[in-house]
Amino acid sequence: MTVIVLTQCPVGLRGFLTRWLLEISPGVFIGGPSARIRAALWEEVKQYAGQGRALLAYNTDNEQGFTFETHDHKWHPIDREGVTLIHRPNERVSQVPPVTQGWSKAAKRRRFGR
């Protein structure tokens, strides 16, 4: 079983993949091609994805029963003692915006002392 997920990729690439895989949802392709065809499809996806992202998951003989590859994702697969995990980069963004002086009623009261 092979699954390819495309995000923000050209429409022509989606049409290309429908020759070998079934599109079950927009950008989600599933099928059972041979390993040689799967590798060729993945090379085409990486070449023609443009600014988009792609994810490939397929069956294999390991502890998890599958493996996956990514193209232009912020999250990357890493191997930890034979188990593939997803590494998410630490992007700490302040959730609280800085206090700014505005023209709200409360800001006017503070400014003019009412």
Please report, to the nearest 10 degrees, the dihedral formed by the alpha carbons of residues 36, 41, 42, 43 taken in order: 90
Q: Indicate left, alpha or beta for 50 from its phi (over 0: left) and psi (-120 to 50: alpha).
A: left
pLDDT, residue 25, reads 95
Q: Give me the CATH code for the 2-89 domain, please.
A: 3.30.70.240
pLDDT, residue 102, reads 63
pLDDT, residue 19, reads 93
Q: How far is CA 61 from CA 29, 47, 67, 97, 103, in A?
A: 22, 27, 9, 48, 63
Q: How confident is the model at residue 105 (pLDDT cuts 50, 70, 90)?
A: confident
Q: Give residue limits of the domains in the chain.
A: 2-89
pLDDT, residue 73, reads 84
Quick: pLDDT tens for 24-83.
Answer: 999 999 999 999 999 999 999 999 998 999 999 999 988 889 998 999 888 888 888 888
- pTM score over 0.85: no
One-letter amino acid at 66 equals F
Q: Mean per-residue pLDDT for 73-99?
A: 77
The Cα–Cα gap between 11 and 76 comes to 25
